[in-house]
Structure 1
């Protein structure tokens, strides 16, 4: 388990490129027959990835959690971005196609991840937040998600937001999760930018060509920085930071949030003339 401590915006504005990437960028989440996890002290979100091929992989409580099992005090959301996935939750089997989501509430003891076909392995992305109550396990396809169509081709940000784990979808204690897909010719995400000081956020960029990149903009509105992000890399966005990006070609991203408020629209829009 990689540990990422919280940072102060007054300090972060002095970071060089290497320090920014070390603190906020997760470069490798999908490694053959491994589970990779990052523990972010920002709202104590765990960000993880798994690529099971030869055998099933079990999510276990790392020593940092000091619990008997992973979901003793947590809930988790899985979304599959690869070949067909199989997730066993306390012996109950769930099959996930691409962009299918599975939510598992607090208290489930056994989580096993495997691929339906080793020649086309699953790539299972997951985020886990603290939970104070148990919500039922539930699977949802991206087609069943609450869908918002935003932006325009003229501003290069015509996109479809699929809200999956949220107040009007799969219910949870605090975890929110969804996926944003772009229309052809659009490359900007979350612009105009916004803040939500009540919640941190994590982005996973995916469905990118090997030579494509997303320039992910972060930092306080008057002290912006950027990270150059490749396919299947993730970014930790603290609550004080904007989180926008522009791609060199088409891409998609999964967003996940945890924190105090449980309202998707709880955000403070940043005017364009405030960005520096």
Structure 2
């Protein structure tokens, strides 16, 4: 498991492109018959990916629970959310079978011990994108299908941000300790996300960009509002954003991204907005 340590505002200002990418960019998320994990000390979120092809894989395949988290098993004091962006899949958690099909989500509460992930069709493997955060109590596990998510249309073609926000693991859908997850899809011709930009001092956020051509990119903007930087993102890559940083992007084509948050609260509107002309 790759471990990343927190970077403050002052060191961030002088980081090179490579240093920024090493600290905040998460690459190679999906590997055949494997589970990847990046543990960030920013609110201790874990960003994970699994692409089972030949058979089922264990969620904790590459995690030493005692060494990495000081517990007997990975989710003993953690919750996890996942959204399947690949072919239809199956997750078995403590003997309960969940069908997690394309664009469906699954939430597993703290205390879930044995978790395996598999694909229904090896020629169309599932791709489980996951985030896990610390949890102080157990909330019920449940599937959230694409149809059950909240679908909120925002923006316009004139503003280049005609998009639909799909809320899955969200206070209006189910209870969690701190984890929130959703998926935003931009329509053809729209390229901007999360603009006007904002920060939220009490929450961090991870953005995972996907569903755009391999020869296109997304410029992800981060940093303090008056001292912004960018990281160039390729398909199926994620970026870790501290609470003091904006998180916004502009693509060379439209795209889809999954947002995941952890921190002090789950109030979706707890944001500090920045007027676009005030950005630097």
Q: TM-score, normalised by structure 2?
A: 0.97
Q: Which residue of 2 aligns with 1:211?
A: 215
Structure 1, residues 74-114: CA drift from partner, whole Å, max 9, x if none? 00001100011110001111111111000000011101011
| Contact 1:103-1:170 within 8 A present in 2 as well | no
Matched residues in 2 for 1:24 and 1:198: separation? Answer: 19
1:76 aligns with 2:80: yes
1:229 maps onto 2:233 in alignment = yes
Map 1:1-276; keep pairs closer than 5 Å: 1-60=1-60, 61-62=63-64, 63-276=67-280
Distance 1:58 1:131 in 2: 21
* Counterpart-to-counterpart distance in 1, 2:203 and 2:260: 10
CA contact (8 A) 2:222 2:246 kept: yes
CA distance in 1, matches of 2:13, 2:2: 23
2:80 and 2:269 map into 1 onto residues whose CA distance is 22
Structure 1 segments unaligned to the other structure (5+ residues): none
8 Å Cα contact 1:45/1:258 also seen in 2: yes
8 Å Cα contact 2:188-2:253 kept in structure 1 = no
Is contact 1:214–1:245 with CA below 8 Å preserved after alignment?
A: yes
Q: Is the 8 A contact 1:157 1:189 kept in 2?
A: yes
Distance 2:277 2:83 in 1: 36
Q: Cα offset for 1:56?
A: 1.0
Look up the SS of the partner of 1:64 in the other structure: helix
Q: TM-score, normalised by structure 1?
A: 0.98
Between the aligned partners of 2:174 and 2:252, the Cα distance in structure 1 is 33
Match of 1:28, SS? coil
Q: Decide whether the 8 Å contact of 1:193 with 1:242 is kept in 2.
A: yes
Per-residue deviation, residues 123-158 of structure 1 (Å, max 9, x unmatched) = 101000111111111101122111221111111011
Aligned partner of residue 87 in structure 1, secondary structure? strand
The CA deviation string for residues 5-44 of structure 1, in whole angstroms up to 9 with x for no partner, is 1111111010010001001101110011110000011110
Moved over 4 A (4+): none
1:193-217 deviation line (CA, Å, top 9, x unaligned) = 0000100000110101110100000
Q: Which runs of 5+ in 2 are unaligned?
A: none
Alpha-carbon distance in structure 2 between the residues aligned to 1:57 and 1:67: 21
Three-state SS of the structure 2 residue aligned to 1:121 is: coil
Q: Secondary structure of 2:159's match?
A: coil
Most deviating of 52-61 and 79-88: 52-61
Return the alpha-carbon distance in structure 2 between the equivalents of residues 208 and 97 of structure 1.
20
